[in-house]
Amino acid sequence: MKTKITELFDIEHPIIQGGMHYVGFAELAAAVSNAGGLGIITGLTQGTPEKLANEIAKCKDMTDKPFGVNLTFLPSLTPPDYPGLIKVIIEGGVKIVETAGRSPAEYMPALKDAGIKVIHKCTSVRHSLKAQSVGCDAISVDGFECGGHPGEDDIPNFILLPRAADELEIPFVASGGMADARSLVAAMALGAEGMNMGTRFIATKDAPVHENVKKAIVNASELDTRLIMRSLTNTERVLTNPAVDRLMEKEKALGEKLTFSDIVDEVAGVYPTIMMDGDMDAGAWSCGMVAGLVYDIPSVKELIDRIMSEAEEIIQSKLKKAV
């Protein structure tokens, strides 16, 4: 399948694996890129520029296809060493960066001077337009369904994607709630040039996370996610568990008085324990509503091949026969 996104990133299939904290390591990124999609290493998970440089080198040993690095710009009192991370991305010869969180404007000159293509992930049309205006090459339009941070507008992809199509000049992929061939064909009908998946890629053989995480996603339904940290304007969609119940009790009790320190036990530093040790109740972890559409744990290649062949089937038989 050829779209503006496959052409922009020089990939075979219009499928991107979004950056994911403690999931987006070289193993997953390389598996996605080897299968013809675009794999992405999560920059901040690596911790330091040196460690990111090692992960990039490892990924290069595992694939000769294009892959990217995610840089999530978070509000922080002690911000990560973004210039250092960008330096090793450039030195490592990575040609694609997925940005998320705040606007990447400050870092665009460094990225563009190095010939890097930037896809910014955001949850609204206005942020997409801002990203376009600062020189981003593409947008990952992340609907309300998404795992992780859906923003505060609560606009699902059936509205957000065609709205983006009506406003944007640069290409965009649909992100949030994407699981299979039906997602891809629908996203393209709504104006996207491909799709970005997070949760679906965790439940694959290649994702370097504990089996318990994969099983939790397969066992979850579309009813099992919760929105937390709304009153902190830092809404996150997570899979429900006893830690999330505890956190939500505190949110209910404290209301607008809630501060980050009240919920630090449930959210801070919990990812390694969950993703590596498989302690599923250690805290709140991002997961999309799309878990309800995840029924198995295939290899990344099996998943992508299946999506592409079923997408062709939907287009060639169902859609063509209908007209």
**26, 94 in Cβ contact below 8 A?**
no
Nearer to ligand FMN, 97 or 100 (CB): 100
**187, 139 in Cβ contact below 8 A?**
no
Nearer to ligand FMN, 137 or 142 (CB): 142
Question: Residue 38 is which amino acid?
Answer: L
Question: Least distance from C-beta 210 to ligand FMN, angstroms?
Answer: 12
Nearer to ligand FMN, 75 or 320 (CB): 75
Nearer to ligand FMN, 59 or 254 (CB): 59
Residue 235 to residue 251: CA distance in whole angstroms = 12
Give the residue carrying structure tokens 């998404």. Answer: 146
Nearer to ligand FMN, 168 or 289 (CB): 289
- Long-range contacts at 50-54 (CB < 8 A, ≥ 24 apart): 50/88, 52/85, 52/88, 52/89, 53/88, 53/91, 53/92
Question: Least distance from C-beta 139 to ligand FMN, angstroms?
Answer: 12
Question: Least distance from C-beta 273 to ligand FMN, angstroms?
Answer: 13
Counting DSSP H helices and E strands in the chain, the numbers are 16, 10
What DSSP line would sit under 101-129, residue for residue? ES--GGGHHHHHHTT-EEEEEESSHHHHH
**243, 267 in Cβ contact below 8 A?**
no
Nearer to ligand FMN, 193 or 319 (CB): 193
Question: Least distance from C-beta 198 to ligand FMN, angstroms?
Answer: 2
Question: Least distance from C-beta 255 to ligand FMN, angstroms?
Answer: 27
For residue 277, the 8-state DSSP code is T
Nearer to ligand FMN, 198 or 283 (CB): 198
Burial degree of 268 (CB within 10 A; 0-12, 13-18, 19+)? exposed
Which residue is at the shortest CB distance from ligand FMN? 198
Q: What is the dihedral of CA 205, 207, 209, 212, to 10 degrees?
A: -40
Residue 179 to residue 181: CA distance in whole angstroms = 7
Question: Least distance from C-beta 66 to ligand FMN, angstroms?
Answer: 18
Question: Least distance from C-beta 230 to ligand FMN, angstroms?
Answer: 17
Question: Residue 160 is which amino acid?
Answer: L
Bridge partners, residue 237, by sequence: 148, 227
Question: Least distance from C-beta 222 to ligand FMN, angstroms?
Answer: 11
Residue 123 to residue 184: CA distance in whole angstroms = 18
Nearer to ligand FMN, 145 or 193 (CB): 145
> In the complex, which residues of this chain contact ligand FMN (CB under 6 A)?
18-21, 23, 42, 70, 72, 100, 121, 142, 145-148, 175-178, 196-200, 285-288, 290
Collapsing DSSP to helix, strand or coil, 83 comes out as: helix
